Each structure stands twice: as C-alpha cells, then as structure tokens.
Structure 1
Amino acid sequence: MSEHDSNPFTEPELSNPFQDPSVTHARQTTTTTAATMAEYNPFTDSKPTAMASKPPTQPAIMKPTEEPPVYSQPRVQESTGGAGELLRRQEELERKAAELDRREREMQSLSASGGRRNNWPPLPEKFPVGPCFYHDVTVDIPVEYQKTVKIMYYLWMFHTGTLLANLLGSLAWFCVDPSRGVDFGLAILWFLLFTPCSFVCWYRPVYGAFKSDSSFRFFVFFFVYVCQLGVYVMQSVGIPGWGACGWISALTCLNANVAVGVLTILVAALFTALVVMSLVMFKKVHAMYRTTGASFQKAQQEMAAGVMSNKTVQAAAATAGSKAAQGAFKESI
C-alpha cells in the first residue's frame, strides 16, 4: 500500500510540464510579439522592429489581360480627318472662286479693249507674220484641267525638240556617211512638217476640248494622236532610209563612227521616251474624257451643228436650193 500512497508530483524523476523547451519558446515568442505590437504607433512613420526586417512590397497593380478596344482612337482620327477634308474643300472652292473672278475681270478687260489678240507663236512685232492663235491655259481652261493641258503643251515642246535632235543626228550621220543623204532630207521634212501639224492637229483639239467640253474635238484628238503615236513607234525603231535616228539606225551608225553613234543612240532614247510619255498622257486624257460626260452622239450633234452654222456651207446650200427650185419651176412651165 505504501507504493500506491506516494505523491507522483513530488517524485524527482518527473519534470515540470511548464518547463518544457517548446512551451518556453512559444511563451518567449508571444511575449516579444506583444511587446512589438504594443510599441507600434500607426500614426507615425516608424515601423516595428519585427516588420522592419521584411522587404518592402509594391502595391498590387491590376494589369489588363487584353488590350482595350480600338474604336475610340479611330473615331478621333475620323473626326479630325473629316474636319481636314472640309477645310481642304473650302480652300479649293475659294481658289476656284478667285480663279473665276480673275478670269471674269480679264474677259471684261479684253472685251473693253476690243477683244483678245492672238499671242501664239510669240513673234516679234516687226516680224512680217503675226501670231495665229490665242493661247492662255489659265484663262481658257478650267482649273481642274489646267495641269493636264500644260503637260500636253510641254509634251508637244518635247516632241519638237526631239525632231530637232533627230535632224542634228541625221546631219552628223550624213557628214560621216554621204550615202545617208535621204535620211537627212527626210529628217528636215519631218521637222518642218510634224512641228506645226502636231500643234494644229492634236494639241489644239485637246486644248479646245477641255476649253469648251467638246466631244467632237475629243474624238479628233484621239484619232490624230493614235496616228501620231504610231509614227513615234516607227521613229524609235529607226528603219534606215526613213529619216529617223532610231535604234536600228543608231546601232548601224555606231559601227561606222563611235561619236556619231552615241549621238544617234541619244536621239533613239528620246524617241523611246516620247513614245512612253505619249502613251501615258493618252490614257490620262481618255480617263478624264470619260468623266466629262462626252459621247459619240454628242460629237455627231456638234459636228452637224458646226457644219450647218458654217457660212460657206450655208451659202452652198442656199445656192443648191435656189437652183433646184428654178429647175423645178422650169419643168412645171
């Protein structure tokens, strides 16, 4: 019984449970944390020592997983572009109005001075022959067609310069090879013939077509210019004996004389450039012709009206009518 009556808490081999190392460590940690939190003041910039050891962290930022819709920026651009388009149209209308006012004032001054005087070709006053045409693109041609007509005029000048260069090349070839007299003579003929004929036959029709919106003159220009384009192609080819320093003639001359051959090659290049530019301008004029509302029926009507309004045709018709009436009267008697 003595064994069962002993007090277990007085035994030296049993340790105090509160002295356990894990319990002691937990109590120390709790005490330190409580002291730290007791010293922390949220209204000051100082931070607790326990929290100061932690690295600073960045605030959370929400990043979109998708890009925002792009409908807002194009709307701004569209509104800006619409305003710019309106300003551009307003400036264009103001420019056209100023151009019309200038042309009206010029026409009034011309009518007050007795009409327009021919100014082309620009010849000296003492020259025995005076100008034959009135040529002023800024006065006769509407604003939207002035650039095209000016380019056609520069193309005609380039055509004239090419014919002059062809004449000089044929002369140089004739000096090297006297058997090329036919080419030199034809080169003179082409220069004297094609220079005025090209101005009258295809430049003046396109000038008048854009001036008065004439379908008949457009058709005249297209017909003559197609023929002129074919002549340009033949001249750029340069068949010997045809009076053109084209590629065949240039290569033939290059074998005889290098310097003259280089000159003729330059002339052949000018003819080739003339073909290309003429084809481009033909397509451009045709595209503009389609936007003017011209047609073959209008061309026929304009031709008929022009023929009937001609005084020579009217006189011939009146003479024929009177003779027919006299013949019918004599037969009735």
Structure 2
Amino acid sequence: MSNFDSNPFADPQDSSPFQDPSVTEATANTRGGLEEFNPFEDTNKQQTPGSKTTPVAAPLPVKPQQQPAVMAPTSELPPAYTQSAAQPAVTEGAAELQRRQEELERKAAELTRREQQMRSAQYNTRENNWPPLPKWFPLQPCFFQDFAVDIPLEFQKVVKLGYYLWIAYTLVLLLNSIFAVVYLGVAGGSSAGVCFGLSLVALFISTPCSFACWYRPMYKAFRSDSSFNFFLFFFIFFFQFMVTVVQAIGIDQFGTVGIINGLSMIGAGSKGDSNSGMVVGGLMLMIGIMFGIVAVLDLLYLFKVHALYRGTGASFSKAQEEFAKGVVTNPGVQTATRQAAASAVSGATTSMFSSGGGGAAAGNNRM
C-alpha cells in the first residue's frame, strides 16, 4: 500500500513535466535576461549570453528640506496714483453734500435752541441784557437783545450789520471828541472851544439817541415784521445819514473835526512852520474821512434794508394799521383815555349839580 499511486497509468520516472531539463534551462535563461535588462545602458554594448549580473538598487532621491516661502524685500516705489476723470466729480459732490448736511444740522440746532428759549420765555420773563453792565453798577440794562432768539435766520446778518454800523459811528464820535481836545490845545480860540464842547454833546447825546431812534426800530421791524418800525427807521436813519455828511465836512460850530478845519489847520501850520499844526491837521482830516466812510456805509445799508422791506410785502397802509392798533392797545394811552373820560364825566356832573343847586337857591330867594 505504500507504493500506491494516484495515477496508475503515469510513468514512474516522469513524476513532473516541468522538471524536464530543457524546460528548466529555458525558464532559467528567460528569468536571467529579464533581471539583467537595463534600458539606460548603451545599446551598442553586447551582453554575454548566459552571464548573470546582480541588479543594483537606484539611490532614493533626496527630498529637499521644506521651508516657509519668504518674499524678498524690494526697494521699488509703488507706481504713482492717478485719479480717473470721474473721481474729482465724485469728491466735489461728496463735499457739497457734507457742507449741506452741516448747514442743515446747524440750522436744526439753532431752531431747537430758539424753541427752547421761547418755551422757557413763556414761563419766565426775559431779563434785559443790553447794555451789558456789571451787577454793581447803579444803572441796569434797558433792552433785551438776542439775535438768535428774536431775529429770523435769514435776517440775522442784516441786523448784526446795522449793530456794527452803530458801533462804528460811536467810535468815530469818540475819536472826534479826542482830537477836538487836541485841536483846542494846538489852535486855541473860541471856535476850537465851541468845537470841543459840541463834540462832547454829540458823543453823549447822539450815541444813545441813534441807538434808540433808528437801531431799535430796525431791530423790532425785523423781529416782528412791523411796517411802522420800518418807516420809522427809514425816516430817522436818512436824517442821520445827512448829519454824518455834515460832520464829515468839519465845521467848528457843528462840533466835529473834519475836512474843512483839518485843511485850515494844515495851512496854518505850513505858514507858521509848525509841524505840530500840520500833524494835528492831518489827524483831523483823517477823522473827516472816517465820517465820510460811515456816511457811505449808511447809504448802502439804507438801500439794503429798503430792498428787504419791499420783499416782505409791507406797505404804508399796513404801517398805519399797526400804528392805530398800537395806539389803541397801548396801556399808557388806555390809562390816559380813562383818566380823561373820568375827568370829563366828573366835571360834567359837578357842573350839573352846581347849576342845579344855584337854581334851587334862586327859587328859595324868590319865595
């Protein structure tokens, strides 16, 4: 049983067909040729058949060390920035919008402030604040003046211009009094004394009168759109314009130093070789020029206010109505009217009773 074969018909000497020597040699040569093949070797090199070479493993490529990428610094300047054609228009439009926005915010803040002040004025009486005098001064302010509260926004610049014009006129009157003293000291004489005295009168009377007679009516005219105050301002301010022109001429009897007495002082100084007379005459001439400048500004301001007055729709009939209404509603006029009526009634009653008493006495005498 040990010699049992699974194939009884097989050759006992030929156990495997692949163990044939010819097959074994063929397979060995084929494997050797494949192992010795190198495509990178010279094609002209001839191999010795049957020779065997030991293949050498190719060296592995060396991996470079990985480092973070670093950009090399450069010293080149960036190219010059050039604006496009549309950019200036966009910039100008943005600036215009910004300006309008700021103006609207300013107007809104001013209106809010005025509303708050008017709301508070309904409960609290407004205290007079002009002229700005200290608390310890015996005289107290006589008027209330606040351009932001009383005057509409579109007329504030005009009213302020009138206020500055009044200040300029006051300063010229002050300088006129100072140089009138110098004129009296250098020239002497009765005419220079009269000029100095009248200059003080003009300073202490014309200053408050001009404020109360033309500036305050103009202020109230723009505050309440009053035609009557406009007419009052036009009449008195035109009169002041004429007075300022006369003051610029420089007549001693009008209390001003100006062109005429200044030139006469310069002539007297040149004849007598007096440098002081020529210097004083030049200063007096300068005061006359200042009066002339104020007169020109007065005329221009009069035209400007008149143009605004025509634009408000005011008229003389409206001024008459305001005057009549103001007279009727004036507390002083009402009090005087009541007193006059009471006096008339009491007088009539007294005369009636006195005449009645006299008639009764005459009847008794007849009896």
Same fold at TM > 0.5 = yes
Q: Which runs of 5+ in 1 are unaligned?
A: 1-76, 78-82
Maintained 8 Å contact 2:176/2:257: yes
For 1:235-267, what per-residue CA distance to the aligned partner results, in whole angstroms no more than 9, with x for missing partners? 011123221112111101112311101110110
Q: SS of the residue aligned with 2:253? A: coil
Alignment-derived partner of residue 109 in structure 2: 98
TM-score by length of 1: 0.69
Q: Who wins on radius of gyration, i.e. which is larger?
A: 2
199-208 or 91-100, larger mean C-alpha shift: 91-100
Q: Which one has the bigger helix percentage?
A: 1
Cα distance in 2 between the residues matched to 1:324 and 1:90: 66
Question: Equivalent residues in 2 for 1:60-79 (5 A)?
Answer: none
The code of the aligned residue for 1:303 comes to: F
Q: Partner of 1:264 in structure 2? A: 284
**Cα gap change, 1:324/1:213 in structure 2, threshold over 3 Å: closer, same or farther?**
same
Alpha-carbon distance change, 209 to 87 in structure 1, aligned in 2, over 3 angstroms = farther
Aligned to 2:252, what secondary structure does the other structure show?
A: coil
Structure 2 residues without counterparts, runs of 5 or longer: 1-88, 270-276, 357-367
State how far apart, in whole Å, the 1-side matches of 2:312 and 2:96 are: 24
Query: In the comparison of the two structures, how many residue pairs are matched?
Result: 253
| Larger deviation, residues 231-240 vs 216-225 | 231-240
Over 3 Å counting, the alpha-carbon distance change for 1:163 and 1:97 in structure 2 is: same
AA of the residue aligned to 1:126: W
| Equivalent residue number for residue 119 of structure 2 | 108
Q: 1:299 to 1:86 in 2, by over 3 A?
A: farther
Question: Residues 98-247 of structure 1 correspond to what in structure 2 (within 5 A)?
Answer: 98-112=109-123, 114-179=124-189, 180-247=192-259
**Is residue 194–residue 252 contact of structure 2 (8 Å, CA) maintained in 1?**
no
Partner SS, residue 209 of structure 1: helix
> Counterpart in 2 of 1:28?
none
Mapping of residues 9-48 of structure 1, within 5 Å: none
What amino acid maps onto 2:119 in structure 1?
Q
Determine the C-alpha separation between the residues in 2 that align with 1:209 and 1:121.
20
Q: Deviations over 1:195-231 (max 9, x none)?
A: 1111000000100000000000001101100110110
Q: Deviations over 1:87-108 (max 9, x none)?
A: 9888766654432211011223
Q: Distance in 2 between matches of 1:201 and 1:323?
A: 34
**Aligned residues of 2:173 and 2:202 also touching (Cα < 8 A):** yes
Q: Partners in 2 of 1:106 and 1:292 — Cα distance?
A: 26
Contact 2:258 2:286 in 1 (8 A): no
Q: Distance in 1 between matches of 2:120 and 2:341?
A: 44
**Counterpart-to-counterpart distance in 2, 1:131 and 1:318:** 32
Letter in 2 for 1:187: S
Partner of 2:262: 250
Tell me the equivalent position of 2:328: 308
Mark the CA change 1:103 to 1:182 in structure 2 (over 3 Å): closer, same or farther.
same
* Equivalent position amino acid for 2:163 in 1: Y
**Secondary structure, counterpart of 1:156 in structure 2:** helix
Distance 2:332 2:352 in 1: 27
User: In the aligned structure 2, how far is the partner of 1:278 from the partner of 1:86?
Assistant: 38
Determine the C-alpha separation between the residues in 2 that align with 1:264 and 1:120.
Answer: 32
1:88–1:290 Cα change, 3 Å: farther
Residue identity matched to 1:151: L
